[in-house]
Amino acid sequence: MNYSQIVNQIKLKKSFLCVGLDSEYNKLPKHLLKTQNPIFEFNKQIIDSTVKYAIAYKPNSAFYESRGIEGLQSLIDTVNYLKKNYPEILIIADAKRGDIGNTSKLYAQTFFETMDFDAVTVAPYMGEDSISPFLSYKDKWVILLALTSNKGAEDFQYFSENEQKLFEKVLEKSKEWGNRENMMYVVGATRAEMLTEVRKIVPEHFLLIPGVGTQGGSLQEVTKHGMNKNCGLIVNSSRAIIFADSSEDFAKVAAQKAEEVQKEMSSLLRF
């Protein structure tokens, strides 16, 4: 999926919502546990009911890996289901991988060939050769961690050299490796005011923004500081949508929550 296809979807749906499929087994509605493939069944119903309001889905691989073979199968099934039924959707593997060059190449293969994800989140600590293997795929995306939404972000991401913070260095340096057509950045919504700084360095790139909703970020603040002329934002919401209800109506309630977010997004979009 390329840059303009993403922008077109945002225009079409008046939404820049990504639904995070953090489908933790222990949090699934009880009635689904009797089905053969509960996590996939849950995802399928969530996707079908929210897809009108979303342009992207983002399964976090930890929630699948922790269930072993069965979990991996649910992840594969979810990606295949999305590709088959909603090919216009951006599918993000939230996997936060990163290793030496020849190993990162195999991670790229994992997410872009073995599974057919459009994008994968990557950790920057190991530098260029850990990231560049993901960039050699046409119409696939690296989403590089820059400034994350968790408390621990403060431990190292604000470390600074000559008044440049580490996350700013990551943004600056990685511009040499990728561009707005193959690279996005994770910037946490809990630090919306930092988006102004981020935009000075990467005005054109898409930013994937986690932390709106449960983690306390505000959509208005994010838009104010981070939106560019092509929107340039993909805002993720996970638990606040997918686990809003645990009854047999869970998918309907998820759709209502997604619609609420989409409505707010629609009012904030400038095209």
The burial of 94, by beta-carbon neighbours within 10 Å (0-12 exposed, 13-18 middle, 19 or more buried), is given as buried
Q: Rounded CA gap, 45 and 250, in Å?
A: 9
CB of 19 to its own copies, least distance (A): 16
E strands, 75-210, where?
A: 90-97, 119-122, 141-147, 160-161, 164-165, 183-187, 207-209
Known catalytic residues are 96
CB of 7 to its own copies, least distance (A): 28
Smaller CB distance to its own copies: residue 38 or 232?
38
Smaller CB distance to its own copies: residue 8 or 164?
164
Please provide the distance, in angstroms rounded to a whole number, between the alpha carbons at the two ends of the chain.
Answer: 21
Strand partners of residue 20: 58
Smaller CB distance to its own copies: residue 143 or 268?
143
CB of 137 to its own copies, least distance (A): 14
Q: Rounded CA gap, 27 and 11, in Å?
A: 33
CB of 169 to its own copies, least distance (A): 6
Smaller CB distance to its own copies: residue 124 or 226?
124
CB of 18 to its own copies, least distance (A): 16
Q: Which residues bind its own copies (CB under 8 A)?
A: 22, 24, 60, 62-63, 65-69, 72-73, 76, 94, 96-101, 103-104, 106-107, 109-110, 113-115, 123-131, 145, 148-157, 159-161, 166, 169-170, 173
Dihedral over alpha carbons 161, 164, 168, 174 (to 10 degrees): -60
User: Contact at 8 Å (CB) between 165 and 136?
Assistant: no
**Residue 74, H or E segment:** helix 68-85
Question: In a 3-state reduction of DSSP, which class is residue 117?
Answer: coil
Smaller CB distance to its own copies: residue 10 or 79?
79
